[in-house]
Chain A
Amino acid sequence: MFETKGFKVFRWVVLIPLALFVLVPLYTMITSALKPMRDVLGTFQWLPAHPTFQPFADIWTTVPLGRYFANSLFVSVIAMVCSVIIAIFASYAISRYRFRGRGAFSGVVLATQMFPGVLFLLPLFIIFVNLDRLAGAHLFYQTRLGLIVTYLTFTLPFSIYMLSGYFDGIPRDLDEAARVDGTSALGALFRVVLPSARPGIIAVAVYSFMTAWGELLFASALTNAQTRTLSVGLQAYSSEVNVYWNQVMAASLVVSVPVVVGFLVLQRYLVAGLTAGAVKA
């Protein structure tokens, strides 16, 4: 594509406002996290008048942020792993086999994208409680396991949908050749398909992790003080004697940095994964 002067001007007309739009909240988050409490109560200051790192120390004691952090990490990682593994098998079946019920299965998977989460909230809750009663133990209700299972409701359909699209893009000849050589179906999946599907798998993993890390509705209804995750915990800074905006911003920053860094490191896989997955789909 050759670039005219008009296009270059157009480029900056688009990019500058967009960059500002993206930057301003990030700027607010960072600078406000460096302000003492009294400076976030009055009118907004563009630059911190009394810069301090105190909020970053205070956030751990105002609410048990460390525990929330550990809970979020645990729940998100396990949800991601489960989602990826289950999706790999299912997507492989959808992509490589023609079997009875294939259409129905992928139809159901896609249809679940339409269900409002609130519809599931109380039923899941009732199901969890009764499973616990059956088992006679706290397995699902207000546990991390329960939350993980819940999170598969969002991550699994999208993962299967994306990954089967990605598998479709890997030439069948490759694994068929392996099958002719006597490799089993699983062998072909693990030795031939998966290595070429790395970007797709990473894309799905990143998506699953981020969804679980950011989820609020189910986390607020299905956790207790012990199993609470960050998304709910961050609200707690607002319900104490004051709204500790500086601490809210500092905590937001702290919980965001690991995810953002991980995301940015993996973004090229994400683009590659989405390219194949989405374009084929």
Chain B
Amino acid sequence: MKVRFLAASAAAALMLSALTACSTPTSESTDTSGPTGTGSAPSAADQPYAGTTLTYWATNQGSSLDDDKAILQPELDKFKQQTGITVNLEVIPWSDMTNNTLQAAISGQGPDVVNIGNTNATTLQATNAFMPFDSAALTAIGGKDKFVASAWKTAGPAGKDPTSVPLYSQVYGLFYNKAMFAAAGLQPPTTWEDLVADAKTLTDPAKGTWGIVAPAGTVNVSMHIEYIFAAQNGGSPFLDDGTPDFVTQANIDAVKRYIDLMATDKVLNPSAAQYSDGVQATNEFATGKVGMYMAQTGNVNALAQQGMKPDQYGVVPVPAPAGGKSVGSFIAGTNISVFSFTQHKEAALEFVKFMTSAAEQEILNKAFRMISPVQGVPASAFAEWPELMQVWPTILQNNAIPMALVSTVSAYQTNVGGGIVALFAQAASGSPVTEDTIKTMLDEAQQKMLAAG
């Protein structure tokens, strides 16, 4: 009796799931005129897509979601005036971005145009969720040559049509508190050894001041730093074919250098091990409790938000150890993609073209305090502070390398970034972090990645 009931319900369930599954391929082609479809006829020859409505998911670049809306909306209005295309804007916090993109990818329902973090560009390319920018699409947006060569590299591995193009660029720099450095008679460091020595001078736990701050509980930043430091050591976490190659001296030393700030140099407040996002670290630096902070360009905005003006700090490239390679950053930033299931490909491309036009690039990068990845756009975000205006493009051109263009970057972030966070936790509670501990962590991370594919 029981068996019969179970069998019957299982059969019914199978039917139901078969029913839903069968519908998948057909429904895509039938749904051409949704509520957002191209309804009216083109109103003018120069506005062939007038009447179209696009949905755009913008990542949260500014200090709040509302701020971003206030910055972007006037530009979208301008776009509507020029093309007749309406853009529905939704600003998405970075923390929701992965899940939202994933859901849109699985469901085929979502926005037409979306921003992505450029470290994920290759990972997302592998999902086939985004439209490849083939040569026709590239021509439609104004050609790939309009982008700064180094920024263009973040779009994806060579030889494959990229599924995103750069929108905003930023790099890591070493922020230092000018007043604290002046009071201690210090110059901004040019080698890692200098940095540690300066930090030691500034550190005074009794007064609550520390040499440097880092969001040591943050997985993605830990991954970024590991990647940069490994490059300073002349190494990389990946072989040329994209296979993880973590257990090398370059990587071990990279992790050790970062952890040692807390574990042996004692210039990083152990509390930082609990900073699970950048804001607490930014806050510590802004309130003048720490002398240095390795952070991305966008932090200029966050610091201003917390009451620290750009003339209160300086920025220099993140220094390498004496004799190391002068790498201070990878090329970070935000790319823009078109979802492959969009019904409005041409209009979407028109929008991407607009967003990556020199005029818009200047306005947007100024508002978000980012560096433009488009040729010939001045770093006017920092026009009032010549030092900053000069240092960011310099780092971008001379001092920055592209992130590994492999589809497992997000797994690298989870495993190695997560591993570093765990080691910081260990260091914070006072247990030593040796080279062997680091080696074990990297080895496990590598095996996990190989196993999970």
Contact = CB atoms under 8 A, between A and B. Distances in A.
A, B bound: yes
Nearest to A136: B31
Nearest to B301: A241
A191 B194 CA distance: 85
Interface string B4-18: 111001000000010
Given A130-B21, A134-B27, A242 B106 contact: no
A129 interface: yes
A221 B107 CA distance: 13
A221 B279 contact: no
A92 interface: no
Contacts of B64: 240-241
Contacts of A133: 23-24, 27, 108
Interface in B199-252: none
Chain B interface secondary structure, helix, strand, loop or mixed? helix
Nearest to B276: A238
A182 interface: no
Interface in A103-134: 103-105, 107-108, 125-127, 129-134
Contacts of A141: 107, 109
B99 interface: yes
A225 interface: yes
B283 A134 contact: no
A239 B218 CA distance: 13
A130 B24 contact: yes
A132 B28 CA distance: 12
B444 interface: no
A185 interface: no
B279 A105 contact: no
A101 B279 contact: no
Contact of A136 (B21, B27, B93, B305): B27
Given A125-B103, A141-B107, A241-B305, A101 B23 contact: no
B2 A107 contact: yes
B150 interface: no
Interface residues of B, number: 34
A133 B22 CA distance: 11
B20 interface: yes
A170 interface: no
B105 to A, nearest CB: 11
Contact of B5 (A105, A127, A224): A105
Interface residues on A, range: 20 to 34
B23 A126 contact: no
B93 A239 contact: yes
A100 interface: yes
B93 A104 contact: no
Contacts of B380: none
A129 B109 contact: yes
A78 interface: no
Given A130-B20, A134-B23, A221-B99, A243 B279 contact: yes
Interface in B104-160: 106-109
A216 to B, nearest CB: 13
Interface string A235-249: 010011111000000
Contact of A101 (B5, B90, B282): B5
A103 B2 contact: yes
A50 B335 CA distance: 46
Interface in B42-90: 63-64, 90
B27 A129 contact: no
Nearest to A141: B107
B338 interface: no
Contacts of A225: 90
Contacts of B305: 241
A139 to B, nearest CB: 12
Contacts of B306: 241-242
Nearest to B21: A130
B90 to A, nearest CB: 7
Given A130-B23, A136-B27, A136-B31, A104 B5 contact: yes
Contacts of A130: 20-21, 23-24
A100 B1 contact: yes
Max chain A Cβ within 10 angstroms of own Cβ: one of B17, B103, B282? B103
Interface string A208-234: 000000000000110011000000000
Contact of B95 (A127, A224, A239, A241): A239
Contacts of B99: 220-221
Nearest to A130: B20
Interface in A74-111: 100-101, 103-105, 107-108
B302 interface: yes
A31 to B, nearest CB: 23
A239 B277 contact: yes
A136 B31 CA distance: 8
A178 B277 CA distance: 65
B305 to A, nearest CB: 5
Nearest to A220: B99
A141 B20 CA distance: 14
Contact of B20 (A104, A108, A134, A243): A134
Contacts of B19: 134
A236 B106 CA distance: 25
Interface of B: 1-2, 4-6, 9, 17, 19-21, 23-24, 27, 31, 63-64, 90, 93, 95, 99-100, 103, 106-109, 277, 279-280, 282-283, 302, 305-306
Closest 10 CB pairs of A and B: A104-B5, A130-B20, A129-B107, A133-B27, A104-B2, A101-B5, A134-B23, A241-B305, A239-B95, A133-B23
Interface of A: 100-101, 103-105, 107-108, 125-127, 129-134, 136, 138, 141-142, 220-221, 224-225, 236, 239-243
14 contacts: A100-B1, A101-B4, A107-B2, A108-B9, A125-B103, A125-B106, A129-B109, A130-B24, A133-B24, A134-B19, A134-B27, A221-B99, A239-B279, A241-B279
